Amino acid sequence: MLDELAIKTAVIDQLYLTGSLDDAVLINEMVVANWSRRTDLTVVNGKLHAFEIKSDFDNLNRLQGQVSTYLSRFDKVTVVTTTKFLSAVKDSLPPNVELWEVTELDSEKYIRIVKRGKTQLITNKRILCGFLHKPELVAFLKQNNIISSTETSRENLISQCESLSSYKLRQFVLCSLKHRYKDTFKQFQAKRIDKTKVDDLYALSKKSLLKKEYKENNIINISNSAPQKNIRFLDMHLLELKYGIQADSIQKTVLLRKVS
């Protein structure tokens, strides 16, 4: 039985094997469409490529909606699934979506391309603007001699961007995403050796990068009101890998009961 994290490692290894991560960034759990969807993996090189994974532990209830959203926002969409769902997924996918099957034999995972997909470049300016943060929208406008500020509403910024070249906007989006995620991808590459392990995926999280910076600057402190010997820190890695930002609301420590 293959779970989502195991399949992610197989997909990443395949991307390395085919050179798809050359001059690119890899993004884990990228939020899109006003936070309504979250791609399992995204590759940004000369195009925007979204991956949706359906593991042995998933169901296909949301797949149609996910694929529809991704097709409207990404140049290419690939669905990766196991033998369990292969037939059902194949029958339901639009012709331009790529399909991969992942299998496991003697603890080794293998990827087979079942159906080739097509690349259709996104040129809708409003969709492209959706990938940009407010300061990035302002920077793009400034780059094109339009003075604005982050105090301007996002809607007005997007309206101004829509008056400009879609080619320039698209190139700016690709560059901005690569710049935004270059540090986490660099951190991941430094951690990954030969083949991707589940624990390597944690390095793709911006949280892990911040924690590393905090530790290096010695700014992690433990409150004196709770002696360290009475605290147990929970391992949040797998929760953060699977749920991303949703893990923020989960308490990271537990106070041990004193035995009298």
pLDDT tens track for 238-256:
555 544 444 444 555 666 6
Sign of the torsion angle spanned by Cα atoms 170, 172, 175, 179:
negative
pLDDT tens by residue, 203-225:
998 775 655 555 555 544 444 44
pLDDT tens digits for 155-210?
999 999 999 999 999 999 999 999 999 999 999 999 999 999 999 999 998 775 65
Provide the CATH number for the domain formed by 4-122 in this structure: 3.40.1350
Q: Where are the domains of the chain?
A: 4-122, 125-164, 208-255
